[in-house]
Amino acid sequence: MSSRPIATTRSATEIPTGKLAVWWLLGSEIVIFGGLLASYIMYRLAHDAWHAQAAATNTWIGAFNTLVLLTSSLTAVLAHQAAEEGNGPKAAKLLWATIGGAATFLIVKAFEWTMEIRHGYTITADTFWSFYYTAAGLHAAHVLAGAVVMVFVARSAARNQELHRVELAGIYWHFVDIVWIFLFPLLYIAK
Amino acid sequence: MAETVPSHPPAPEEGHPHHEEMSFWSKYIFPLDHKMIGMQYLFTGIAMAMVGGFFAYTFRMQLAFPGIEVPGWGLVSPADYNALVTNHGAIMIFWVAMPVLIAAFGNFLIPLMIGCDDMVFPRINRLSYQIFFLSVLVLIASFLVEGGAFGGAWTAYPPLSAKAEYSLTPLGSSLWLLAVALEFVAFLLGGINFITTAMNSRAPGMKMYDIPIVVWMIVLASIMFMLSVGPLVAGAVMLFFDQQLGTGFFDPARGGDPVLWQHLFWFFGHPEVYVVLLPAMGIVAEIITVFARKKLFAYKTVLYTAFGTGILSFTVWAHHQFVAGIDPRMAHIFTITTLLISVPIAEMCFVYIATLYGGSIRLTTPMLWALAFIAEFLIGGVTGIFLGASGADIYFHDSYFVLAHFHYTFFPIAIIGFYAGITYWFPKMFGRMLDDRLGKIHFWGTIIPFNGIFLPLFILGLAGQHRRIYNYEHFPELATPELQALRVLATVSLLVMLGFQLVFLVNFVRSLRRGEKAPQNPWKANTLEWQAPSPPPHGNFATLPTVYRGPYEYSVPGRAEDYWPQNAPE
Ligand code: HEM
């Protein structure tokens, strides 16, 4: 990266460009999940029969995963704090903890889905399950993407480089967390 | 992010630091320079316009002369017809209007007009084009797979689009959907870049109301696109699963609802109309002020109307669904919002007309296109009022009246807007002047036949002719010689119009090579792109400009010259 455009060094809004971009990215993501969940809610209100299907989801596993994600958001915040203090290696360690949370979440999810599919609750079993897998699957893809991004951020942070990216990864991670906070009650708790 | 880019010397801002020779590959194929990426979008868009135009030619030939061997295509089978119409619509909107008006002009103009050297994320910019190009390849592939290309209309309503038993294109429909989804991703990435660049990287001194209208419009369009496309992305995933995994999101027999797709589609689809309209409106604003040598009549009003349009455009979508069985009380609400949205757009047109009033108008080729845009778009806008009234729409729905209406909006946007922009910025893009005489021949040779194509279609629509019909010979009331004559008139006009596009191509290619060398500011315009060399080098400006005033200070009393560049200190 010999030459970044001068454009990147300007900040007319006084908000760093990278942060602006992440917020706009999240804006576009919010409408994606918003559209999907709004469709789900409309359907759900129209179909009482889905309660019976929703009863088959495992609230305990969902709750455990919620806890995992919340904890990983905490480590992401701590990583940001460390980065602010200029302590790259510490930020990197905390990011690795967050990545660990992401991995745990995905492993638990894989286990949960395998069980459900074994019991015949496949994506085509019922439109409730279609939503269940589509929404949670889209979310899981975001978890995976976030984890991959954090690997790169953690590796440069460990060398005290690009520390501002720790915050950006954190913002994204909180968003992934918040989406789950919506999914968990909608898919698991509402029986 | 100044503090995070230690590799760069801080103030004073200088021209771009690297002038080393670049290889062919890194300059033209994988460029990072915003201008070159803009060119990639431009030429891909032009190529796709030729494809979309060729499709229109093929199915218009079939309608005027049913059953003939269309030269260049052959016999048009019913399945061919559906695939051609579907992909004509999709291509013209997603692969012509969007890439040309937003991506090509946006990429080329935004950094130049706000006085900086590039986009803030050049690599994301490059990635955006690459994904866009991939979407083109996927779309082409959809024509080559077994079963052929998707023919379920550009709106892709289920159940026709959801099940291979109905669409008869098991692979074509999924590839088509994938191509559209990739195109969305490309424009989301590009949009984030445009928005952040315009927000953060303006030249020192350029305040909010010093930004040229066209930049505002492209940025607003990007925001609207971003906020409207999300639900359709989700919808596309659902439709894809319905097609390939056999889920029942849109299947009423399994608890789904096909009308949900219509909501998701039009929640995007209607703002999308304004997503492409606003950049065209912006292009026209730039041209009209320059060639009327007059300040834009009401800069802030244009902005407010654009904001108003943007917000209202999210509340009108169900006017596409008046006959889809929605609650009539809902239809009333959507009628009201639809009629409301004509107000800000009409106001914008009035502002442009008021800008002309009392100006010293120069009828150059770009100006002719800009004026034609207003005139033709008004016909499209006014006929929309009839369709927005839910009662009238029950009769008009899905007829050629609708079709003529939206071509009177889309053609001005995508084609006239493009020609206005390209004839205006050509000297800056390529450093040469276009031939004005050929430009004018091309202009009249396009505008007159354009009306010859679509005015008859209004009449056909009023006579009850439905859209997306392969052959009207089997409809006794529609197969009369009078109506057939109108169909032939439309098709012959199209042939004439397509013929005149050759004039443009000749002019374009000849001027590229042998055109008169363009001076830096041939139109004596104020905006910053004209204060850079023609064509601007990598890095755009020798010294990055500082801005002292708004973009439309023309014919200011007491000045020797009738223009006042934004970056001129005095
Ligand atoms: C080159 C001149 C053009 C001609 C002669 C033309 C003609 C037509 C005709 C006759 C149809 C209807 C076919 C049918 O329903 O059976 C059609 C459909 C359509 N056109 Fe064009 N068109 C042109 C340019 C454009 C442009 C510039 C755009 C948009 C930017 C556009 C967008 C559409 C769309 C969205 C449809 C609907 C496709 C569908 O029914 O799924 N067209 N066009």
CA distance B428 to B432: 8
Please work out whether the CB of residue B57 comes within 6 Å of at least one atom of ligand 1: no
Q: Which residues of B touch A36 (CB under 8 A)?
A: 231, 234, 237-238
Give yes or no for a contact between B210 and B549, defined as CB atoms under 8 angstroms apart: yes
Q: B201: distance to nearest CA of chain A, Å?
A: 5
B235 contacts chain A (CB < 8 A): yes
* Band of pLDDT at residue A3, cut at 50, 70 and 90: low
Q: B274: distance to nearest CA of chain A, Å?
A: 18
- Token pair recorded at residue A28: 């576009």
* Per-residue model confidence (pLDDT) at position B425: 98
Q: Which residues of A touch B201 (CB under 8 A)?
A: 7-8, 10, 12, 17
* Per-residue model confidence (pLDDT) at position B26: 80
Record: contact B200-A15, CB cut-off 8 A: yes
- Token pair recorded at residue A17: 């460009």
Q: Is A49 exposed, middle or buried (0-12, 13-18, 19+ CB in 10 A)?
A: exposed
Q: B9: distance to nearest CA of chain A, Å?
A: 10
Please work out whether the CB of residue B549 comes within 6 Å of at least one atom of ligand 1: no
Which atom belonging to ligand 1 lies closest to the Cα atom of B90?
Answer: 35
Q: What is the domain count for chain B?
A: 1
* Per-residue model confidence (pLDDT) at position B325: 84
* Per-residue model confidence (pLDDT) at position B15: 43
Q: Which residues pair with B75 in a beta bridge?
A: B69
CA distance B568 to B550: 11
Range of lowest pLDDT (A20-29, A71-80, B213-222, B248-257): B248-257
* Per-residue model confidence (pLDDT) at position B3: 34
Of A8, A35, A49, the CB nearest to B234: A35
- Token pair recorded at residue B171: 């692979």
CA distance A106 to A109: 5
* Per-residue model confidence (pLDDT) at position B424: 98
Residue B143: alpha-carbon gap to chain centroid: 24
* Per-residue model confidence (pLDDT) at position A105: 98
Q: Residue A162 — left, alpha, or beta (φ > 0 → left; ψ -120 to 50 → alpha)?
A: left
Instruction: Answer whether residue B1 is part of any domain.
Output: no
* Per-residue model confidence (pLDDT) at position B1: 32
Q: Whose CA is nearest to atom 36 of ligand 1?
A: B89
- What is the residue type of B110? I
ipTM value for the complex: 0.94
What is the A168 CA–ligand 1 centroid distance (Å)?
Answer: 44
Run of H or E including B70: strand B69-70
Please work out whether the CB of residue B51 comes within 6 Å of at least one atom of ligand 1: no
Give yes or no for a contact between B266 and A68, defined as CB atoms under 8 angstroms apart: no
* Per-residue model confidence (pLDDT) at position B162: 94
Alpha helices in chain A (DSSP H): 17-46, 50-54, 59-84, 88-118, 127-158, 164-183
* Per-residue model confidence (pLDDT) at position A5: 87
Mean pLDDT of A34-48: 94
Peptide bond into B12 cis (omega under 30): yes
Domain residues of chain A, as ranges? Answer: 70-191
Record: contact A21-B249, CB cut-off 8 A: no
What is the B319 CA–ligand 1 centroid distance (Å)?
Answer: 20
Residue with tokens 């030729």: B50
CATH number for the region A70-191 comes to 1.20.120.80
* Per-residue model confidence (pLDDT) at position B21: 63
Who contacts A18 (Cβ-Cβ below 8 Å, separation ≥6)? A164, A165, A168, B1, B4
Q: B394: distance to nearest CA of chain A, Å?
A: 27
Give yes or no for a contact between B521 and B434, defined as CB atoms under 8 angstroms apart: no
Task: Give the SS3 label for residue B496.
Answer: helix
Residue B456: alpha-carbon gap to chain centroid: 24
What is the B71 CA–ligand 1 centroid distance (Å)?
Answer: 20
What stretches in chain B show pLDDT beneath 70? 1-21
Of B111, B118, B230, the CB nearest to A32: B230
Q: What is the pLDDT of residues B338-397, one digit of tens each?
A: 999 999 999 999 999 999 999 999 999 999 999 999 999 999 999 999 999 988 999 999
Q: Residue A87 — left, alpha, or beta (φ > 0 → left; ψ -120 to 50 → alpha)?
A: beta
Run of H or E including B75: strand B74-75
Please check the confidence at residue A174 and state whether its pLDDT lies above 90.
yes
Instruction: Answer whether residue B566 is part of any domain.
Output: no
Of A8, A18, A28, the CB nearest to B226: A28
Please work out whether the CB of residue B94 comes within 6 Å of at least one atom of ligand 1: no
Residue with tokens 């002309």: B356
In whole angstroms, how far apart are CA B489 and each of B195, B444, B497? 45, 18, 12
Q: Whose CA is nearest to atom 37 of ligand 1?
A: B89
Q: Which residues of A touch B122 (CB under 8 A)?
A: 5
Q: What is the CATH number of the domain that holds B178?
A: 1.20.210.10
Please work out whether the CB of residue B98 comes within 6 Å of at least one atom of ligand 1: no
pTM of the model: 0.94
Q: Whose CA is closest to A179, among A22, A70, A19?
A: A70
Please check the confidence at residue A2 and state whether its pLDDT lies above 70.
no
Instruction: Answer whether residue B125 is part of any domain.
Output: yes
Q: Whose CA is closest to B36, among B545, B538, B543?
A: B538
Q: Whose CA is nearest to atom 20 of ligand 1?
A: B89
A24: closest chain B residue by CA: B192
